[in-house]
Structure 1
């Protein structure tokens, strides 16, 4: 007699629950249960035979050599890879193959400088030209692509394989694949159970990768694993207040957050620590309270304690895939180290150990953003990798590899400033990268001025002679980055910081004139739901409303959703004038009672209106005395949440059961229309 396994019993339990609901998607879910149950067996059965390709390169079709050339059908992918049209046949030198993600690609510096070039230089300076490094790092390399690339790399006959990966292991794909298991975990254990479950799957991914690597080590080919690290000190994730998921005690968390913010503002860091420690926030799955605790430790010089909390914040964002950036979660880092210790032909270089030896919480000295490295970070890391390959200690002399020229360093930091601004980082770090760019190469200021003019205009690149001129003077990395993101946000914060750093009064005046000509309310009706008027960063969840680069499965359709108690917009005008505002919105109103919604302009309250359940139309007149020349800010303050938290939790679970990536962050309100017209 067959006894059902725990997994089978779990599926049967969920199937029974779905059947009772008579869900339309039940047949789909039955199929998913079957597929999930058999997925691992099918994966193990799939094995690709030895290939004539690796990445975008294929064996020379002429048959004259054993080298590889770029497959012409994959030319559109070349910007993700090293700019090498061919990989030469292996000759007398030892071949090191480097596989990795964008951090290994040298994002911000590539193609002029990158880890592969640095490693090649260090190895050959140490061992008289006996090495060649083949660069297989790829930007946006997913986990599945990594596994395939490791297998394909065997055709290059490496003498050493270096794998620098772990940042791009997208956890929400696990949720989609095992959605019924995930929903059951949340139902029984909550979000902290989801963290545990996700950690276990990430560790399993590491085991699978090491199984793939045994094909090399069994042949005597050594492998070096680079364990990635995260910018703990200087990268700020969005403040996520998941209070509604914390046992339904929304009011308690809101009051605690209010107290801690007041203490932080008053510099009462010791009291803040005492309060948060006494409140036992261990189960808190948001980021706001943890940030308050980490910053309090940091202000008091308690570096080790601060670092532990920053690591916790890094890992918590695993369950918010719509707003978090690439990173190596602790579960991945730990598993990479543990699995390496089981094979004497695999060595590892732990980035955390390399950088933390310099003292302090790891931050801007080594990272340009969340995971991409500065030139110093690349050099220190590649020295350790070279030491592992050569089994000897390489001098930590910063000049024993390549020297990065001042212009390259400057452009890299300028692009980093743009990238940090686009991901909602604070003024301090944006200003740091701009000032570093100017210090390294003062001529960069002309590029900064051209960038401002480029971003303040609303014409596409191909219609603007100014834009074409600007594209011609910037680095290849900047071209790819900016042309891809052109037209998605106005860059108000970044442009203002550039103006301050350059300290040019004429430039600031020019900024205002260009903005008004392109976006001024005098031009006619302004739709504040256009991204230029409200999007401040790529990580801003509200941007899902009309953000073309976000996958459809992650979007909300139809309305702009407000994920914070306050939602900000902006408009510009050449002269103060009266304005008519028209807003169509609804709030998350659980008890159906009328709620108050407030509207502010430049922090002056201009409207406080009661709105009822369902869609509401508001018409507000703004006197010219509240409007100023240049940029003006509008803020909507939504009512506090009072919806039934159990209903919200069930909704999340049901969405996951249907294979939908859920909204784990609460929605305070939705906007259908938001129009301004000047008098």
Structure 2
């Protein structure tokens, strides 16, 4: 059999076996697929195919709990043995992946097809973009700045989504109806680092002044002034900065104006489409609308979670009530989504599925599964630099659901920094199958990064479980400053998250990445934070080589543990700044060094030059860089 013939006889990681006329599992991209050993080619009951991405896989909960299993459970409660759900979802799937799976899956003679996808679609615009696309974006940037670039991407996304929906409908046009499930994302609890878009034409300094004033007014609770400031900011930037939308949303939510708050939270998420490579998976509203319109025009059915999920949340805004991270559903969210899908499939399959029946049937994940999912969610939230409150919430949730998960927390906190993942160097991890699947397959598979916020959250739960005082984590001798030895605080093992915004090039330092890439720090926000560990109070000598990120004028204020230790005038040339921190200001254990970039004048790179970078396929530079750091060396006195 030729390679081409063999590929035609495969569906994902399942290969056709003529003996028994079955598709059976072979080696593949585990754990991105279902654990199913296989399925018959010709069904002996009503068959539903589930296609999708990691949300459809039930990431954090699978393989123990998945949407496919829940949907089948609901259908089976209505008519035992009448229907099956074949789980063909694949984590990380893109447009073409889903189309390829769909085409090969036609051989399975489905009675209905469910497509639960969309969160990865925005990446189609930025990764491996063609030369023509780069040229189109460059021209858009030159014509109308970042706002025009955003409109260009929105238009392209809408067209791509429409083509995808039509492609799926074409494949199953004479075979089975298609149900499209439109995903929602965590709008309230997931926080991205706010970016200041490059505006040019002398607007950047003015925008920055208004933004600083509006932030202070927000802290002061002056709602009228904040709303006026947000209007001024969006007149300057064309509505492409998310922070003003978030301020509006918070004000509307505090007033009880939920619909207005929801609209502004969605705007805050959607405008991030102009920026490359920072935010995790989510589907902008333009993509949701395009999928809905295309599906309805082709006679397909739609389960629109953007319309139904908000009502399931305590705040009325999609939040941790139904989400575990940025887009992956928690146990309650999975039950709700499976209920919506099963009820929509009922008429297609000739079954009477009701929300009441699903409520009696779908009880939600067991405590051990919830513990494993919450434990993994703490990692994911830490990896993307979410707040300590959010990370602690999931650590606490895990420990309360199944106290034995504390053993895994202890293993993580005890593991030293090394290139080998921590779970490969310890045998003290309880066997939570879903947590192992997530962390081995999707999560901590590269260099071990010791996340301080995650360690502190885990330590609090460890102390509570062991009946110890709620003290800080013990000092890690392998990470503490060695007296008389310089330590570069830009070492990737000291990064505050797996994918922090400012530590550019960090992923290129991980095993398996191209060598020769020097890691560096570019401050996209007005405060930059670095961490060092001290074995005890001692004088610490610090050397920082830094400069302003763009032309202009400014100073930096440097603080150690909230104590100011120096202020430096900077320009666009590298400047070596030296100072010493008195022993009484150095704490045993964790110490935080903060650089506050104070720009009085910002001169950004002209848009035509930035457009040339895009056209040449170089890194996008469309947000203001407040400062750059070449190195931060700390030395404890001997």
* TM-score for the superposition, normalised by structure 2: 0.89
- CA 1:182 to 1:577, structure 2 compared with 1: closer, same or farther past 3 Å? same
SS for the counterpart of 2:474 is helix
More divergent stretch after superposition (205-214 vs 121-130):
205-214
User: Post-superposition shift, 1:181?
Assistant: 1.0
Within the alignment, does 1:249 sit opposite 2:203 as a pair?
yes
Structure-2 residue corresponding to 1:348: 302
Structure-2 residue corresponding to 1:601: 560
Within the alignment, does 1:673 sit opposite 2:628 as a pair?
no
User: Post-superposition shift, 1:460?
Assistant: 4.8
Equivalent position to 1:618, from 568, 577, 584: 577
Q: 1:513-662 maps to which residues of 2 (within 5 A)?
A: 513=475, 515-522=476-483, 524-545=485-506, 547-548=508-509, 557=518, 559-591=520-552, 595-640=554-599, 642-645=601-604, 647-662=605-620
Partner Cα separation in structure 2 for residue 96 and residue 451 of structure 1 = 40
Within the alignment, does 1:308 sit opposite 2:263 as a pair?
yes
Note the alpha carbon deviations across 1:76-120, whole angstroms, 9 max, x for none: x11111112333333311111100000000011000001000011
- Whichever structure has more helix as a proportion of its residues is 1
Give 5+ residue unaligned stretches, structure 2: none
- CA 1:589 to 1:510, structure 2 compared with 1: closer, same or farther past 3 Å? closer
More divergent stretch after superposition (576-585 vs 282-291):
282-291
Partner Cα separation in structure 2 for residue 551 and residue 143 of structure 1 = 26
Equivalent position to 2:428, from 437, 461, 469: 469
Query: Could you tell me whether the CA contact under 8 Å between 2:417 and 2:449 is conserved in 1?
Result: no
Equivalent position to 2:13, from 56, 66, 72: 56
Q: Which has the higher contact order (CA 8 A, sep 6+)?
A: 2
User: Post-superposition shift, 1:493?
Assistant: 1.4
Query: Could you tell me whether the CA contact under 8 Å between 2:50 and 2:86 is conserved in 1?
Result: yes
Within the alignment, does 1:159 sit opposite 2:120 as a pair?
no
Partner Cα separation in structure 2 for residue 153 and residue 519 of structure 1 = 55
SS for the counterpart of 1:512 is coil
SS for the counterpart of 2:266 is helix
- Paired residue total: 619
User: Post-superposition shift, 1:468?
Assistant: 3.2
Q: 1:386-465 maps to which residues of 2 (within 5 A)?
A: 386-391=342-347, 392-396=352-356, 397-401=358-362, 403-454=364-415, 457-461=416-420
User: Post-superposition shift, 1:419?
Assistant: 1.1
Equivalent position to 2:277, from 305, 322, 326: 322
Note the alpha carbon deviations across 1:103-146, whole angstroms, 9 max, x for none: 00001100000100001111111122111111111111122212
Give 5+ residue unaligned stretches, structure 1: 1-46
Query: Could you tell me whether the CA contact under 8 Å between 1:103 and 1:372 is conserved in 2?
Result: yes
Query: Could you tell me whether the CA contact under 8 Å between 1:54 and 1:155 is conserved in 2?
Result: no
User: Post-superposition shift, 1:368?
Assistant: 1.0
- What value does the CA root-mean-square deviation take over the aligned residues? 3.0
Within the alignment, does 1:233 sit opposite 2:195 as a pair?
no
SS for the counterpart of 1:443 is helix
Query: Could you tell me whether the CA contact under 8 Å between 1:563 and 1:666 is conserved in 2?
Result: yes
Query: Could you tell me whether the CA contact under 8 Å between 1:82 and 1:137 is conserved in 2?
Result: yes
Partner Cα separation in structure 2 for residue 617 and residue 253 of structure 1 = 30
Note the alpha carbon deviations across 1:317-375, whole angstroms, 9 max, x for none: 1111221110111111001111111123x111001222134361121111111111112
Structure-1 residue corresponding to 2:333: 377
Structure-2 residue corresponding to 1:19: none
More divergent stretch after superposition (667-676 vs 112-121):
667-676
Within the alignment, does 1:490 sit opposite 2:450 as a pair?
yes
Structure-2 residue corresponding to 1:512: 474
Note the alpha carbon deviations across 1:416-466, whole angstroms, 9 max, x for none: 122112212223332332332233223333333333223xx2245589996
* TM-score for the superposition, normalised by structure 1: 0.84
